[in-house]
């Protein structure tokens, strides 16, 4: 039994299948095709090897106890702390503009200098000319520096809907959450449309299980986009400076899987976990605990700031699951 801890999901309606637990709690069935991640992969392996079936249920009120409750209650800080950026709007600092004025222009003009006009009106005129001139000079220098050190980049798409109508070819990893997300997508959804257009007829060519091979296939053309975990891609340094992401999204996922203490599958399940920890995907996820994509060291051209139009770099992005 696995509980979806995402606070964004609230199943409603009385026509769904329910079970009553010995503790008096009502549980509702959770669609298996919405379960993603390593837990699902391990469960699929166990069910196949030990020849049993499994159903997924969740508490109807989404209230859990013990450690699961702590994870559910603090889901945002636990799941998104690595990606969250606290920004302060610059307009909140306008009230402190006088600090700049007093620091830069606050010194009184020397009255004994022959070059300094003595009347107050002329001092204010001199101050205004000096202030406006310096502002114009600083603005020009900032604009010139920005123009010479940055290139304008326009993404060919920034949403899945735009990807659907673009001329990019979509790639995805075969097996795991991304494969399930496309193949089991609800008819009419964006994932169902993407699968029918890009992947359904050429699964063997555009859906590859081996990650290095998948990245090599991505680099074969400038008009290809990869749907996979961004952190996993960044664990292959040779591709870090050749791949860009049009957006980075945070995604909540399942936080727990429960088994009875007396379960006969306990030892086998523990063995599979140890075996799974040796796989590159899990190692990549563990490396993301302290991962920061801004730490990549890529050499960027410092030439003139010309408009380059659409980017010619292959693109990868991360899924959002609710």
Report CA torsion sign: 189, 190, 195, 197: positive
Report the alpha-carbon distance of residue 1 to residue 59 in Å, rounded.
11
CA of residue 33 relative to chain centroid, distance: 22
Span 235-254, mean pLDDT?
Answer: 70
Please say if the pLDDT value at position 304 is more than 50.
no
Predicted confidence at residue 193, as pLDDT, reads: 92
Give the pLDDT confidence of 205-223 residue by residue, as tens digits. 889 988 889 888 988 888 8
Q: Over the chain, what is the mean pLDDT?
A: 66
Predicted confidence at residue 77, as pLDDT, reads: 42
Give the pLDDT confidence of 25-82 residue by residue, as tens digits. 777 777 667 666 666 777 788 888 888 887 777 776 666 655 555 445 444 344 444 4
Domains of the chain, first to last: 10-60 (no CATH), 155-255 (3.40.190.10), 257-290 (no CATH)
Please say if the pLDDT value at position 3 is more than 50.
no
Predicted confidence at residue 34, as pLDDT, reads: 65
Please count the CA atoms within 13 angstroms of the CA of 287 that sit on its side-chain side: 17
Give the pLDDT confidence of 158-184 residue by residue, as tens digits. 888 888 998 899 999 887 777 888 888
Predicted confidence at residue 197, as pLDDT, reads: 92
């Amino acid at each position: 039994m696995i509980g979806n801890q995402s606070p964004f999901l609230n199943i409603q309606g009385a026509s769904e299948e329910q079970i009553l637990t010995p503790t008096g709690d009502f549980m509702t069935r959770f669609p298996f095709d919405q379960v993603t991640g390593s837990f699902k992969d391990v469960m699929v392996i166990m069910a196949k090897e030990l020849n049993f079936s499994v159903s997924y249920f969740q508490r109807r009120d989404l209230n859990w106890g013990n450690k699961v409750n702590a994870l559910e209650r603090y889901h945002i800080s636990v799941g998104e702390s690595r990606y969250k950026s606290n920004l302060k709007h610059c307009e909140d600092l306008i009230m402190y503009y006088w600090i700049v004025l007093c620091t830069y222009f606050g010194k009184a003009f020397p009255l004994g200098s022959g070059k300094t006009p003595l009347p107050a009106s002329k001092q204010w005129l001199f101050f205004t000319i000096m202030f406006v001139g310096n502002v114009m000079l600083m603005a020009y220098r900032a604009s010139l520096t920005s123009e010479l050190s940055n290139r304008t980049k326009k993404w060919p798409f920034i949403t899945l809907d735009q990807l659907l109508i673009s001329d990019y070819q979509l790639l995805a990893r075969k097996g795991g959450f991304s494969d399930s997300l496309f193949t089991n997508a609800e008819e009419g959804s964006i994932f169902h449309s993407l699968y029918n257009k890009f992947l359904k007829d050429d699964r063997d060519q555009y859906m590859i299980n081996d990650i290095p091979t998948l990245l090599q296939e991505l680099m074969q053309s400038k008009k290809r986009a990869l749907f996979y975990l961004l952190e996993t891609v960044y664990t292959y340094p040779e591709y870090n400076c050749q791949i860009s992401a049009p957006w980075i999204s945070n995604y909540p996922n399942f936080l727990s899987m429960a088994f009875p203490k007396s379960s006969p599958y306990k030892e086998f399940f523990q063995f599979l976990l140890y075996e799974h920890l040796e796989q590159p995907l899990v190692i990549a996820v563990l490396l993301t605990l302290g991962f920061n994509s801004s730490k990549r060291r890529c050499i960027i051209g410092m030439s003139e700031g010309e408009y380059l139009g659409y980017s010619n770099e292959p693109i990868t992005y991360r899924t959002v699951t609710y």
